[in-house]
Copies of this chain bind each other. A is one copy, B any other.
Amino acid sequence: MRISELSELTGVPVATLKYYLREGLLPEGRRRTSNQTDYDDAHVRSVRLVRALLETGGLSIADARRVLATLDEEPAYTFAATQHALGVGRPRTPGTETSARALARVADLAATRGWRVSADNPGLEIAARVLDDFAAIGFEPTDEYLAAYAEGAERVAHADVAALRDRESPEAAAELMIVGTVVGDALAAGLRRLAHQDATAELFPTTPRTSHPAKPASREEPA
């Protein structure tokens, strides 16, 4: 197909496709004549993957290129490269370091679960920051609390891996690995919002469940 058809099929403007090609995010098409290049279904798939990385994942061009480069290598590299490209979250206040105590607690949790993880897995830093944020408001989570989060993570990770096994080709599995890493957090977060509302209905049974109060804010000052 021509680039105009590739654009129609993917909903991505031709100019953007050409930009992806220049940046090396899409493989070149097959040149048929000096002014005609052919694209195929593999390109359609590639465009969708690039969109997932750039838009949904918010990755930079360089990071997206690094992740895509791993598709020719071992699958575990693709996972690791995607995790690293996604990073560890928003920049912190200058001078605020993740505490060694929080990092040790997350490492202990992983060890207790028997997880085989490398020391540079970004998840250690991501989770440790949360423990520091909790500590700042005087919340020290119990072992049971962290075990519940760890069990939830295991549950979804196993579902993810089962889904990878079911894909029709190694390429399709690699795609899902990337997209699942990039957007899967949001699936967990969205369902957590719903589960919170339900669990809160139990905690505060008298509260009307209908809707969110849209009234304007007016924070009262103490007398």
A120 at interface, CB cutoff 8 A: yes
Tell me whether B118 and A69 are in contact (CB under 8 A): no
B residues within 8 A CB of A77?
207, 212-213
- Whether the pair B221, A28 counts as a contact (CB closer than 8 A) is yes
Tell which of B28, B55, B120, B164 touches A222, judged by Cβ atoms closer than 8 Å. B28
Does A14 sit within 8 A of B, measured CB to CB? Answer: no
Which residues 75-100 of A have a CB within 8 angstroms of B? Answer: 75-77, 79-81, 83-84, 89-90, 92-93, 95-96
Cα distance A218–B160 in the bound complex, in angstroms: 28
Within A156-178, which residues are at the interface with B (CB < 8 Å)? 156-165, 167, 172, 175-176
Number of A residues with CB within 8 Å of any CB on chain B: 129
Cα(A51)–Cα(B90), bound, Å? 13
Interface of A is mostly: helix
Distance A218 CA – B130 CA, assembled complex (angstroms): 35
The 4 A-B pairs at the shortest CB distance, nearest first, are namely A123-B193, A127-B190, A126-B190, A152-B152
Residues of B within 8 A of A154 (CB): 195, 199
Judge whether A200 is part of the interface by a CB distance below 8 angstroms: yes
Q: Do B123 and A52 touch (CB < 8 A)?
A: no
Nearest chain B CB to A199 CB, angstrom units: 4
* A161 close to B199 (CB less than 8 A): yes
Pick the contact of A149 from B95, B151, B188 — CB < 8 Å? B188
